[in-house]
Homo-oligomer: A and B are copies of this chain.
Amino acid sequence: MALRVGVVGGGQLARMMVPAAVELGLDIRVLAEGPDMSASIAATAEGDHRDAATVLAFARDVDVLTFDHEHVPQDVLRALVEAGVAVHPGPDALAVAQDKIVMRTRLTGLGVPVPDWAVVHDADELRAFLGEHGGRAVVKTPRGGYDGKGVRVVDDPSDVDDWFLAVAEAGADQALLVEELVPFTRELAQSVARRPSGEVVAWPLVETVQRDGVCAEVIAPAPGSAGRLADAAESLAVRIAEELGVTGVLAVELFETDDERILVNELAMRPHNTGHWSIDGATTSQFEQHLRAVLDLPLGATGMHAPAAVMVNVLGGPADGDLAGRYPAALAAFPEAKYHFYGKAPRPGRKVGHVTVTGSDVDDVVYRARAAAAHFDD
């Protein structure tokens, strides 16, 4: 009988696990939030991932449970483990990804380089941090943020008055995270995969380009990173995966500073936008690897098909909603590009797909990937 993987959440990450599962002969089942989700083709149940009974019922018929996102509450995760479900990544690891204050605390405890940070409960504490960091800083809500949401650059505590109000109402243990504005030269991301029995593999370090807090482009490998920088990023990500006991894919978002240091920005314990290039550019994609890892199967090779791979997100899509109407021109113009769409309706700023191009010359590959993706702009 085929190995059975259950995925909580029906978004595009679960969707992109489907091809890998089908090819590897796995039985993939998705607990979707509702009908017409990205991963509906594999949905065998619909329900709320915050409800323990729903998730327990879904998990009954799978060999391992994994996730499209990091939002399953700790009490649900603990109930699954107590019921004997193999949960990967596990609750202890996920706790670090679920709360940015926990994440900063753990990474600092491990001696991992991170931006200066503090927990702030009110305007006075934030004002003090601003005073020590040149008058500007980044404030983050510890939970629920993604794609730039829950993140604000502030130069006065009043910029986050609404958040402090929410914190005060929510209770004494609530707070915000404040971090220095790192003078970075570029952003990087290092993905690794780790399986329960200990094996860890890494993909090449990549450069990521963010626009409005959202990942717009990824270049693999990060130009000029071979050697010391790539080695440092890989060692760092491997150590974080091991110390936190991460199983499955771990993506580590990094800042590279002008004095050639790397600081950890964020962690994601699942396949991540910065690894989508691997579907078309690496021997083993992050989605196949995640499935292998959570099933504790030996991990696949991560070498690249070509010297360079560039992924460009399709953000928003055409205003008329007709993505398919753009296929003929795009596919004709760039027959070598790999087009990916997530079954999501176009909406301003929404990630509805991505395009990957591989080749020898990185500038040429960047040009072609951008031009191919631009066919789907409004």
Q: Which residue of B lies closest to A39 (CB)?
A: B22
Beta-carbon contacts of A18-59 to B below 8 Å, as 1s and 0s?
111011110110000000000001100000000000000000
* With known contacts A305-B306, A324-B1, A328-B297, A41–B19 Cβ distance under 8 A: no
**Is A3 interfacial (CB 8 A cutoff)?**
yes
Instruction: Identify the closest chain B residue to A322 (Cβ).
Output: B1
Known: A19-B18, A336-B283, A336-B301. A25 touches B331 (CB 8 A): no
Contact assessment for B15 and A336 in the assembled complex, using a CB-CB cutoff below 8 Å: no
* Interface check A299, CB cutoff 8 A: yes
A315 and B152 alpha carbons, distance in the complex (Å) = 58
A367 within 8 A of B: no
| Cβ contact within 8 Å between A341 and B24 | yes
| Bound-state Cα–Cα, A331 to B296, Å | 11
A279 within 8 A of B: yes
A327→B301 CA distance, assembly (Å):
15
Given contacts A23-B279, A283-B336, A343-B2, contact A292 B42 (CB under 8 A): no
Give chain B residues whose Cβ lies under 8 Å from the Cβ of A1.
324
- Contacts A25-B323, A341-B24 given; does A336 touch B19 at CB 8 Å: no
B23 adjacent to A340 (CB under 8 Å): yes
Nearest to A27 among chain B residues (CB) is B343
State whether A297 and B327 are in contact (beta carbons under 8 Å apart), knowing that A42-B41, A303-B336 are contacts in the complex: yes
Residue in B3, B22, B27, B284 whose beta carbon sits within 8 Å of that of A18 in the complex: B22
Tell me if A170 counts as interface (CB < 8 A to partner B): no
Contact B25 A22 (CB under 8 A): no
A339 CB-CB contact with B under 8 Å? yes
A129→B2 CA distance, assembly (Å) = 50
B299 touches A335 (CB 8 A): yes
- A276–B183 Cα distance when bound, in Å, is 49
Is the C-beta of A140 less than 8 angstroms from some C-beta in chain B? Answer: no
Within 8 A of B (CB), among A315-339: 323-324, 327-328, 331-332, 335-336, 338-339
Is the C-beta of A184 less than 8 angstroms from some C-beta in chain B? no
The answer to whether A353 has its CB under 8 Å from any CB of chain B is yes
Residues of B within 8 A of A323 (CB): 2, 25
What B residues does A283 contact at CB under 8 A?
Answer: 336, 338
Contact status B25-A19, CB under 8 Å:
no
- A41 proximity list for chain B (CB < 8 A): 18, 22, 28, 41-42
Which 5 pairs across A and B sit closest by C-beta, in order of nearness? A25-B341, A19-B19, A298-B332, A298-B331, A301-B336
Q: Given contacts A18-B22, A19-B23, list 6 more A-B pairs with CB under 8 A.
A: A1-B324, A16-B22, A25-B343, A297-B331, A300-B331, A301-B335
A-B contact pairs, 11 of them (CB 8 A): A2-B323, A18-B18, A19-B19, A25-B323, A41-B41, A41-B42, A297-B331, A298-B331, A298-B332, A299-B331, A303-B336
